Structure formats: structure tokens, C-alpha cells
Amino acid sequence: MAKSKKAHDKKNLVIVESPAKAKTIEKYLGPSYTVKASMGHLIDLPKSRMAVDVDHSYEPEYITVRGRAKLLKELQSDAKKANEVLLASDNDREGEAIAYHLRNAIRLKSETVPIKRITFNEITPIAIQDAVSHPTEIDEDKVNAQKARRVLDRLVGYNLSPLLWKKVKNGLSAGRVQSVALRLICEREKEVESFIPEEYWTLEADFKVGKSSFTAQLVSWKGEKPELKSEADVNALIAQLKDAESKVADIRETEKTIRPKPPFTTSQLQQSAANRLGFTSKKTMQIAQQLYEGVNIGSSRVGLITYMRTDSVRISETALTEVRDWIGEKYPNDLPEKAVEYSVGKKAQDAHEAIRPTYVTYTPDEVKDHLTKDQLKLYTIIWERFVSSQMNPAKTKTISIDISSGEGMFRISGSKIIEKGFYKVMKLLSTKEDKSDALPKLKTGDLVDIDKFYPEQHFTQGPARYTDASIVKTLEEKGIGRPSTYAPIISVLLDRYYVTRSNKQLVPTLLGRMICDMLVEYFPHVVNAGFTAEMENKLDEVEENKIRWADMIGEFYQPFKDRVDEVGKTLESFKGSLDEETDIVCEKCGRKMMKKLGRFGFFLACSGFPECRNTKSIPLAKCPRPGCGGDIVARKTKGRGKEFYGCTNYPECDFISHFKPTGQNCPKCGQFMVEKYDKKNGSHKACINPDCDYLHDAGDEGSSDDT
């Protein structure tokens, strides 16, 4: 009898990846279930060696991750006492591998307990209950695809990295996919540097008709687009226009239908969050993870969005019915007759639905008191994008008025929304098309008077550096990486200091450029975007059981290894080639300081190393404070480690600047110039002196005096 009661007391064990997810799911399953978190991978390749048997089918040698043995032991012990084990890690390759390794580890300690796999796309009571009611087996093909990626990356990293240590600098590393992204960023930087800005001018004019006035822009001269390359050009044209007769030549009205966009995929979410909210890809994914795993809404805990790693725009029938019911109730005139269908891209794996709210009734206003500021922003754009995707298109009307003036044609245009359609649910995602300017009431043939001219100087803008949004877009377009890897690719490049962020732009460091140049020259195949995309497709084929994972690795590895060995023997070492003696004297021992390249950029080190270990930051400019004489160097704040520029005579001198010195002096007052950025001027140079009005345009060379 006692034995029977003991068996009856056994609980079902559910193992998820994170404590937040465990907390949410435990609330849904009730007292007969225990939910534990594995905290990600418990079993993986060791960090200290390659651990891939290249002589025997590339089998990986897995070990318990350092520091995770206690947790694994606890889970094995819990499983032994359980009625049944349900492995509920994420429904992707990494999640499948976690489940696979957990199953094998539990089997070693308990051969009889039933072990099943459950998957779900959202953390809601219905989805979890449904998953528990329909457990499956582990998808071995998905596990093999993860194994293939892991082994492939390990073979590339553990062969290229020692080569970099030997030839460039100790402690460097090269990743298979990150190196391709680095190449894209470096190539764009070369385009930015080689671009030569050209001056051009535009001309606007104020026109008067009766008591009203309006401003229009010159759009053609003698029937062609005006080419005004200098102030002299624009002044010559004004001289011909000022006494010319001006009249309304044409008024055109056009209507345009604007269709809503499909709900978010991972890459689209990262791009919109970067452009609209200023979030990095990493931050976007961290917040999306929180919304997916569950937040407390009053007394209940709810997963607010579906799984956030997806390349599909597909929506479940249940979600479509729910959103159409909600639109029908709130905006009945904007509900299409049939649900709007969006085509899934050719490259999409379509394993998951698009990112959407789990309950459309949880509007941003409903949940705002339960979310952090950033959670609310991200949830709002996900909610708006999903709901709007199932609403009627918007319609705009554009009116263009052409004013002929001598041999010139001026134009003023204005748009207004005549049917809001899906814009009715847009707040954070609203567009400029929602805003319109009033146009003057005119008719063809009306005479108007030119009141004033506004010539304006511009410089052509070169190619823009990559941002989080644009690099993710490019990676997706080229088929490099997958939804789960976009954010980590950027993070790794930043962590290794191959790339830095400046005004939200990704800028390669000197170290990053050196590594990129070496890889492009000696391993063009490995850092080729087409080749990397092809490898991604082969990993997909492994998951679809079309090819064997070991065959795929074997095809790649031998030619690659032969090339590594050849380069190792023939490539000349760059080590120390960037070290440079300076005139700066070490204050500790009197020897000269050397300019050296470290992991975080250049620094000064005493040439007497190792006897003298003095190091310091490189002076970027002279302190502008009268009588100070100190140097301006890069510093970092405590906590978040934000960079700023301060005087070496601190605390006696407390001068600081948040803008980086350019290495040039102002030609007007002699103080140093800094790099500034704003939306109107983009990146430009300006004088640090607040009393000096000298400002460089983005294309202006300025003084080349060294500071």
C-alpha cells in the first residue's frame, strides 16, 4: 500500500532552458508537475581544445560544461524520482541539441523513466497543455544539423585562430560566419574612406499670391534637372529668375494605396527596433526573450509574444480568427473580407510562426503598467505590426503644383491620408505619410510673384556605414546566418574589438581590418558570402535528412586544412609590425615609450618591458584649458564603461569631452577638433571651443596640424 502511494506521489518533470520560462510554465501545469531550468547547454565541446576527431567521421567529444556538473547531477536525480520527463527546451536546433544531451545524461542514471520531447511556439496555458498532451521524440536530424554547425565552426576557429596568434597577435580568434560579416563591414569602410564629397546647391523660393505665400523648390531648368555645382551657378540662375513671370503651370492629383506590412520575422524586428527605438540587435533579442518567457500581469504570469527566432510570416488559424474578431469589434470598417495572406520567403525555414502577441486583447495600453519602458516599446511595435497586418490598406492623396518661372520650374507637393486603414492602430510605427502640410488654393494659369530666394549649399553623402539594422538586412539578403545568429554575430565582433560602435554605426578597428585583409588574401573561400550562404543551405539539408552531416564536413575540411598548413609555413609574421617608438618619455624609468596595438586599440608601453611595466593611454590632443598643459586621453566611466575624453592632469584639471578628438586643430582658434554626429549633418567635425563658431561640413578637410 505504501509503495503504491509513493508511486502516486511521483511528479512529472519538465526541463526548460531558463528560470523565467520555468516560473511561467509551472503556473500553468499545476501541482503534479515540477518545472526545472537547465540554464542552456549543460553538455558541449570543451573550450580548451578542438575536441573533434578528424580521423573518425568528425565525431565531437562532448563534456559537461565547467561549473554545470552540480546542476546536471540535480536534474539526473530529479529525473530518477519522476513519473515522466518532458524536455521542453526551445524549438530550434540549439534547443533540440540541449534536449538530446539531457536525454542521454538522464539515461545514464535512469534507464526506465520515460523521456519525451515537447515543443511550443508560445507560452500560454492552451499551448503548454497542448504540448504536454502531444509529446514527441527528439528530432535527430535537427540535432545533427546543430552538431554539424558546431563542428564546422570549431574546425574553422581552432585552425585559423592559432594562425592569427602566430602571425598577428596572441589571443586573437576568427569565426566562420563572423569573419564574413567583418569583411562586409571592412569593405564598406573602404568605400566610406575613398568617397570624395562633391559640392552642390539647391534653390527654393517664396511665392506670393494675394495674402498667402508658399515655398517651392526648383526641379528643372530648361527642361532638365538643374545642376548647380557652386554658389556662382546658383547666383547666375537667380539673376535670370528674379524678374521672370511666374504662373501655375500644372496641378496634379494622384492617389496611392499603401498596404500593411506582414508581421515581424526576427531580422525585421531587429531592423525596426534599431531604426525606430535605437535598440541594438542584442538588446532587442534580450527583451523579446523576456516577453516570450513571461511577465507578471496582475496575479497571472503570461508569455506575451510567440517565439522570437523565426524567418516566417505565417500565422496560425487561431491567431487569425482572434485578431479578425478584435478588428471587427474595434475597427469594423477596416476589416478586410478575407484574412490577408503573406508569402513566405524562398529561404525561410518556416519552422515557426511570425512574431506576434499571444493575446491580441492584451493591447499596449492594457499591459503598460506591468512592463518596463523598453519592454513596452518592443511589445508595442510587435502588437501594432501584427494587428495592422490584417487591416485594410491606407490611401493617400498627393497634390503637386508646378510653377513655371522663366525657363525654370518650381514644385510644391503635399500628401494627406484620405483613408487611414491600418494606420488607425499605429502609434510607435506611424510614418511621415500620416502628417501633411496645407497647400495654397491655386488653379492653373494663376499668376504668382517671387518674393525671396533661398539658395542652400550641400555636399554629396557617401555610402553609409553599416548599423545593426543594415548589417542584419544584408546578412539576411545574402543568406548568411539564421534568425538565432544575427545578434550574436554582431556581439562577437564587438567583444573581440574587431569592430566598435560609433553613433550607432559599426566601424572596423585597425585590428579588425588587419585580420580581415589577411583572411581575404589567404582564405578568400572561407570569408566569401556566397560560400557561407551555401554552407547554411547544406546545414538546412542536414536537418531535412537530405545529406549526412559528416559527409558535408568532410567535403569542406581537407582542402581547408591543407590551405591552413600551407599558409602557416609561407606567411610572413606581422607580429610587432605595428609597434612604433615615440618621443614620449616613461616617467617611471626615463626610457622611450612604444606605441603598441592591444586588444582594445593602441596604447603606450615602456620600451623597457619587462623590467618596466608602465603603460598609459595615447594622447589625442592638448588640453584646451589655459595654463594646464595636460593631454586629452580616452577614458571609460565606471559601470557601463562608456568612453569619454579627459585631461591627464585630473583631478587638478576636470576638463572632459564626450566627443572624440580628430587629431586636427581648428584653423580659426587653434583648439582641437572633435567628431560630432547629428541627424541633419551626419558625421562632421567641429571645434571643441564653445566660443568658436568654426564648423566643418562632413566633406571639409580642415587643418592637418598634429595636436
Choice among 299-313, 393-407, 574-588 with the minimum mean pLDDT: 574-588
Predicted confidence (pLDDT) at residue 282 exceeds the cutoff of 90: yes
High-pLDDT (> 70) share of the chain, %: 91
Task: Band the pLDDT of 374: cuts 50, 70, 90.
Answer: very high
Confidence check: pLDDT of 6 > 70: no
What rounded mean pLDDT belongs to the chain? 88
Query: How do strand 447-459 and strand 246-258 relate by DSSP bridges?
Result: antiparallel
Q: What is the pLDDT at residue 9?
A: 66
Query: DSSP assignment of 611-643, as one string?
Result: T---EEPPP-EE--STTT-PEEEEEE-SSS--E
Nearest in space to 489 (alpha carbons), one of 297, 267, 188: 267
Which of these, 64, 61, 67, 107, lies nearest to 85 by C-alpha position? Answer: 107
Distance CA 502, CA 492 (A): 16
pLDDT at 28: 93
Facing residues of 16 across strands? 37
Q: What is the pLDDT of residue 573?
A: 65
**Is the confidence at residue 633, as pLDDT, over 70?**
yes
Q: How far apart are CA 202 and CA 251, in angstroms?
A: 23
At residue 71, the pLDDT reads: 96
Residue-level pLDDT at 431: 63
Residue 270 · residue 416 · CB < 8 Å: no
The length of the chain, given as a count of residues: 707
Q: How far is CA 73 from CA 22, 69, 70, 84, 675, in A?
A: 18, 6, 5, 17, 55
Looking at residue 668, its pLDDT comes to: 76
Q: What is the mean pLDDT of residues 644-648?
A: 88
pLDDT value of position 94 = 94
Which of the residue ranges 38-47, 104-113, 438-447 would you say has the lowest mean pLDDT?
Answer: 438-447
- Total-model pTM: 0.82
pLDDT by residue (tens digit) across 493-527?
Answer: 998 889 998 888 999 988 899 889 989 999 999 99
Identify the residue with better confidence: 362 or 665: 362
pLDDT for the residue numbered 167: 78
In the numeric block, which cell numbers belong to residue 542? 542536414
What are the tens digits of pLDDT across the range 575-612?
Answer: 666 677 888 888 888 888 888 877 666 788 998 888 89
Residues 92-126: b if buried by 16+ CB within 10 A, e if exposed: bbbbbbbbbbbbebbeeeeeebebbbbbbbbbbee
* Beta carbons within 8 Å of 314's beta carbon, 6+ residues apart: 344, 350, 353, 354
> What pLDDT shows up at residue 21?
93
Mean pLDDT computed over 439-458: 92
Type of residue at 487: A
Task: Name all domains of the chain by residue range, CATH numbers in brackets.
Answer: 2-138 (3.40.50.140), 146-195+464-570 (1.10.460.10), 211-258+395-444+453-459 (2.70.20.10), 266-389 (1.10.290.10), 580-687 (no CATH)
Q: For residue 640, name the pLDDT band (cuts at 50, 70, 90).
A: low
Determine what percent of the chain is predicted with pLDDT higher than 90.
Answer: 65
pLDDT tens digits, one per residue of 404-428: 999 999 999 988 889 999 999 998 7
Q: First and final CA of the chain: distance in angstroms?
A: 89
Give residue-wise pLDDT tens across range 146-185. 999 999 999 999 999 988 888 777 778 889 999 999 999 9
pLDDT at 283 over 80: yes
331 is catalytic: no
Give the model's confidence band at 635: pLDDT under 50 very low, under 70 low, under 90 confident, else very high: confident
Q: Please report the pLDDT score of residue 357 as a whole number.
A: 97
pLDDT at 5: 42
The catalytic position among 28, 33, 292, 307 is 307
pLDDT at 642 over 80: no
> What is the structure's pLDDT at 160?
92
pLDDT at 399 over 90: yes
